[in-house]
Chains A and B, each alone.
Chain A
Amino acid sequence: MGLLTAASLLLSGMAKAQAPEAAAPAKAAGMNEQELLFWVLLGLLGVLLLVLLSVGITIVVQMKPQLRLLYNLPTVHGTWSGKVLGLLVGDATLVRGEYRDELLDHDYDGIHEFDNDLPPWWKYGFYFTIVFAFVYVGYYHLTTKGQLQVAEYETEMRQAALLVSAGSDDPTKLTTYLALTTAADLSSGKSIYATNCAPCHGASAEGKVGPNLTDDYWLHGGEVNQVYKTIKFGIPSKGMVAWKGKLSGKQILQVTSYALSLQGSLPANAKPPQGEKEAVGKPVAGL
């Protein structure tokens, strides 16, 4: 009763207070007045509950000796409400259990057994996990809310797709980039090359598992946008890895430009030419 009265008093007081101060900023924040009123009321209700809680705690703390006397009454002690009272006055045995330590008539090679209660924290913990287990299975298999793994994956992919611009993954269309020429880009390209490309194409692009990149011969085109495409989408049938998703578009262009800058560098142990001779692949980057 008291709580209700207090709440209604506060609410009516607030309703008067909000009118002048809230109207203007509400528009600015893109909220309508009703929404703002709702949140202000909710906030105040929260504050009110905190106040009540602290009052309650203060009362319990102040009256602890009296409450304990009450709790110790045999008619109160064993009851359900008595147990709540016991928790309030800090009776640890309600959580920990009582150590009655009464021996059973068991004797196994000198080992005796007490028959103490299951510790209540353990027992109720066990109940809790059982409830949790049923709710868990129900949530995933009986309601439509819980996403099973494939649904969860699809959601994740949909969210990720929002980050990527549409059409950027179309391998049928060639890009129209120009090779990068700044020292900074070529040096980034060089370090990308060293980490990712060197194992297969050789440290100086002389060709190992993958083809030589320094000669005029190209298997999939030596023009900057063709090389870009080869790197981005790979040639899965021949073992060229697709670097899309591993390198950004900018990084791919950097490493493309770096590789083309090595044209005609005549490294040692060069792998014999593979593919078509293409003059167009000549040092675009150096121009």
Chain B
Amino acid sequence: MKRLLALLLTGIMVLSLAACASSPAPSSSAPAASAAPGSSSEAELPADPVTVHVFHYMVEGEKAAAMEAIQDKFTELYPNVSFENTAYSQGTDYFAQLETAIASGDMPEIMMGNPGMYSDLIDEGFVMDLTGNEVIQGLGLTGADMGDVSYKGNWYAYPVDFKTWGVFYNKTIFADLGLNVPKTQTELLDICKQLKANNIDPWAQWYSDGASVDIEMRPILWTKALQNGDHDMFEKLMSGEKQVTDYPYFREALESWQLRIGDWARNDATSNDQTAANELFVSGQTAMLYQGTWSYGSIEDLLKDNTEFDYGFFLCPTDDTGADPVMNVQVDQAFMINPRSEQAEWAQTFMEYWLTDCMGMWSDGSSQPCITGATTENTPDFLKTILDIKATGNVSGYGEFTLPFSSAYTSAYRKALTAFASYCCIGTPADGVDSVDSCLAYMQELFDEEYAQANL
């Protein structure tokens, strides 16, 4: 009896693991959308209460709050329309939760995400084709911006804002040491050396987070690949047609990044997440922070009680030509509509209202640069600078690639980069990576693994 009970208990604990994937996928006869409310300007008040479900990964408080403020404004216009928001971290369980919800027939109306990353949803008919949508067309976006919300040439999401990345620097430390914003890679490395010589840690790094290692590569990888016409680089790597060593930009990007890491990495570089790194930077413990614009709001939030902290931002120089660095651009917040959800058309009306009437409100609330370039009197100089650079066209956009890395390839790619970062910061080989060559080999091995699994 005791043995039976022990086995039963063990069974309960372990079978739950194995049972997790066995829910059948929903049939294609999902509920149709309700009566069309029409475009935002002419939508009629719904007779019955309408609930629009939003699945998103804006776990940063200010972005979610900004969206909720827009939702509240929409509800003022249409009192019978309410919203239910569900947020998960993108790095861990967002897509898993979204897939599970859909597989169980629980259809959210609005799903955050760049379509290329979630191609399964499109292939299975869970994303509305927005090609030719007048509101999106009216935004007058660049081909790169539209590429970020497209898949196989069709539009599948409403783009709201964009992101880029670069170096946040402590102006006070720079001024005290007589340092200027670097124009070349050599100048940047000299700054690191001078900071170290003055017992100041140059960088607050956060390599425990996959996004960090990824954005360190992009200024060279994206820019060089696009300049050389390799728009299908990611597509060919995923199809197995090409290998990472076929593209010299991977090597160049790794070498440049290794130089930036230098021999001045802090002993928390490989264990910090971005919150920890942001805190290190704003507390003045490091002079620079390589970070994305999505953290601007969080940094400002940390500085609420420290108005004396003065910081600036520059794009990371990756060569010695002295030319202005090319800014990477990627649509950040983008939202897809699920045509099989009950209130798909109300979701569409809401998104179009957001894009036409609330972009300034979004930018002010979220501290993100709007995709349309919209500003208000409250827009900070930081965002205006980013918008100005984008307006010059000296940018390389992820949307210019024919396909982005899928989530499986992104995960494999970041794993190899994290191993490289560990080696460069600590000097101990990680997962067999102890050089640029071994990193490339490991990366290819992980890609081969994905390719083999895809063809099972």
A pairs with B: no
Identify the B interface with A (CB < 8 A). none
Interface residues of A, Cβ cutoff 8 Å to B: none
